[in-house]
């Protein structure tokens, strides 16, 4: 299990936890309603905190992936049970209205594998060959977005990286 979970806590939430002598690492052991009570958080905020912990507990999946799952309306692994990685990835690209980096599809393959097997030994890159074989055989849907993720302006880290490459 991943040791560090990024909850993106507010300053006030961190202060409340400190006063109650509860570390961020301990939060994953609490149910959403317990977290809500501890932080005097709204039901929605406690649901988000619980989802961040659950999604980031999968090895090699981080805060960005967890936040994207929530942006698509998922707040637990149970909600994703039975879904295929291809279905989830294709829905992600439609949601973002751009095609994604291949490692994102590998991450969806890890996600569904983890949900089915609770196998903590795998990382997203263990699914690269599987993805490549699948896409070689089946390709992408005809309605796949045509704009690349790095062309959207929605990824600030990519923008600063491109600026460095261009010598700005």
Encode pLDDT of 18-31 as tens digits. Answer: 999 998 888 878 87
What's the chain's average pLDDT? 91
Alpha-carbon distance of 13 to 39, in angstroms, equals 6
* The pLDDT of residue 165: 76
pLDDT value of position 54: 93
Based on the fold, state whether residues 71 and 121 are members of the same structural domain: yes
Task: Supply the pTM of this predicted model.
Answer: 0.86
| Domain stops at, among 32, 57, 82 | 57
d(CA 22, CA 127): 36
Would 6 be classed as within a structural domain?
A: yes
What is the number of structural domains in the chain? 2
Q: How confident is the model at residue 100 (pLDDT cuts 50, 70, 90)?
A: very high
Domain identity same for 153 and 98: yes
Confidence of residue 58 (pLDDT cuts 50, 70, 90): very high
Confidence of residue 3 (pLDDT cuts 50, 70, 90): low
Q: How many CB atoms neighbour CB 154 within 10 A?
A: 12
SS3 content of the chain, % helix, strand, coil (to 5): 60, 0, 35
pLDDT band at 2 (very low <50, low <70, confident <90, very high): low
* Residue 61 predicted with pLDDT over 90: yes
Question: What domain range includes position 12?
Answer: 1-57
Rounded to 5°, the CA angle 134-154-148 comes to 35
Q: What is the pLDDT at residue 168? A: 62
């Amino acid at each position: 299990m991943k040791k560090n979970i990024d909850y993106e806590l507010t300053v006030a939430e961190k202060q409340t936890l400190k006063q109650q002598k509860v570390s961020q690492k301990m939060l994953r052991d609490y149910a959403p309603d317990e977290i809500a009570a501890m932080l005097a958080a709204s039901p929605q905020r406690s649901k988000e905190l619980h989802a961040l912990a659950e999604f980031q507990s999968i090895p090699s999946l981080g805060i960005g992936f967890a936040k994207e799952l929530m942006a698509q309306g998922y707040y637990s692994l149970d909600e994703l049970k039975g879904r295929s990685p291809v279905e989830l990835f294709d829905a992600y690209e439609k949601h973002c209205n751009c095609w994604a980096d291949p490692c994102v599809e590998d991450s969806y393959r890890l996600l569904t594998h983890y949900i089915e097997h609770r196998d903590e030994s795998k990382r997203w890159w263990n699914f690269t060959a599987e993805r490549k074989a699948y896409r070689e055989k089946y390709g992408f849907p005809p309605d796949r977005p045509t704009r690349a993720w790095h062309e959207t302006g929605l990824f600030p880290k990519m923008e600063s990286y491109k600026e460095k490459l261009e010598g700005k």
